[in-house]
Every structure is written in C-alpha cells, then in structure tokens.
Amino acid sequence: MTTRRTFLASAAFASVAPYAHGAKVPFVLGVASYSLRKKSRAEAIAAMRKLDVHHASVKEFHLRYTSTPEEIAAAKQEFAAAKIKVASGGNISLSGDDATLRKMFEYAKAAGMPMIVCAPTHATVAKVEALVKEFDIRAAIHNHGPEDKHFPTPQSVLDAVKNMDARMGLCIDIGHTARTGADVVESIVTAGKANRLFDLHVKDLTDFKGKSSQVAVGEGKMPMKQIFQALKKLNFKGGAMLEYEINADDPLPGMEKSFAHMRQVLATV
C-alpha cells in the first residue's frame, strides 16, 4: 500500500536520484572491480550494467598486467561499449624493483587509466612519484589498516606525500581506516582540505575492530550520511567506489543492497 509518507519519500528520492550518478554532487558512485574478482570481464561488465554503474576501478582480474596491446585495446572497447569509464586501475602493488614499477605505469598508460590506486612501500614511494611525473598518472595510495606495515591509516599516507607532487594522493579505504581507530569522517576532511583525497573504497562493518565483520553497505556501523556530506562539502570530484570483499562467488545481491543504500543516503544529502 502506498501511503502519503511513502509517496513523498519516493517522490523526494526520484527528484534527486541523479545524485547517485554524480549529476548534483561532484563525486560519483562506482565499483572497485575486485568486488567481482571471480567473474570474467564480460560478467563483471554485465554486473556493473545491472547495478547502473558507469565508473570502475579495474583490478587485474579484468585486465591482466600481461595483456598485449591488442588485448588492452579490446578491453578498453568493451568497457566503453558498456558506457563504463575506467577511472583507475588497482589496487596495484608498487613494491617491486624499478623495472616492475615502470611496467605497472606502462600498463596503466596503455589502458588509459588516469590514476593508479596503489600500495607502495616507504622504499618505493619516491620512485612512484618520479613515475607519476613522467607518465602524468595520478597515484592514490591505498591505506590497508592495522596489518599494513607501510600505510595503515590515511594520515600515514598524508605524512608521506605532503611535500610531493600534487598528483601523489590518497585512496581512503573507509573500512580499513575505521579498523585503525581513526575517525573516518575526520580523515576524509583532513585529506580533502590537503587536496590529497583522490578516491574512496567504500565498505561497511558491524565491528570496527573486526576485519571479517564486513556486510552490505547500510547493514553495519559506517556513518555513510556523514561521509557523503563531508565529500559534498569538500566538493570532492573523485569516486566513491564500492569494494565488496565478501561473498565472492555471488556478490551481486550484496552489491545491489549496497548501492540501493548509498543512493538513498545521497538522496538526503
């Protein structure tokens, strides 16, 4: 039964639904394709289309580092035909030797990736900066939580890049950030004001100390409304990319719940 309250709520959502696609806020909702890691590229693209998502951070599962130029060109065409923008590649480990680091940037350049979401080490971060300058590809260093010996928190990334090229920045993983005990919203604001916030990986947890407590977005404790409000206030122009790490064999139901919740939240921001 449609009551006056539900009708008004639906009407309000419909009137601002473009928020979900970046029309009325500068940032967009997208998918980190790691969420679909057990799916082929064609299956992952089909899932993104079903989710009505048009921006992706592409993991190697869906575009191999060893791809030939012809294979990369074919992959780019498949994403373009589905009207999915490859916003970045990653997460990409940037902990190897000089030749390996260069290979990753060559891969990203060939794939048309304007940004690499990456995991360097303290020993390689300066080399990454040099490659960022050479290839003109932004590097968004991903914080990986308490287990990460190099960049566990957003602040640890900010400390490392504060005097570096403006294309060196941060991909805040809000789940890993919460697990370190850092305030997620405060971390977003700090990074945004420093002009180093390039990207977000979005997930939800029922226990901010429990890595295995991930659930669909909206079913945990993550303060999504405050997060989106902070992004809007910052005029954030990057992507809030769903990284759904659970239920790998059948991720779509949880991803659908996550996007439904995020879009409902955006309708109120």
**pLDDT beyond 60 at 187:** yes
CB atoms within 10 A of CB 216: 22
CATH number assigned to the domain covering 25-263: 3.20.20.150
pTM: 0.89
Judged by phi (left if over 0) then psi (alpha if -120 to 50, else beta), residue 191 lies in alpha
Average pLDDT over residues 77-97: 97
Kindly indicate the confidence band of residue 10, based on its pLDDT and cuts at 50, 70 and 90.
very low
Q: Which two tokens stand for residue 144?
A: 């990986």
User: Domain boundaries in the chain?
Assistant: 25-263
Site of tokens 């639904």: 17
Alpha-carbon separation of residue 214 from 57, 241, 246 (angstroms): 20, 15, 7
Strands 239-242, 197-202: pairing is parallel
Q: Looking at the DSSP assignment, which residues form a beta bridge with residue 222?
A: none
- Whether the bond between 143 and the residue before it is cis, its omega within 30 degrees of 0, is no
Q: Per residue in 134-172, pLDDT tens?
A: 999 999 999 999 999 999 999 999 999 999 999 999 999
What pLDDT score does 5 carry?
A: 35
| For the chain, counts of helices (H) and of strands (E) | 10, 10
Q: Which two tokens stand for residue 4?
A: 């006056």
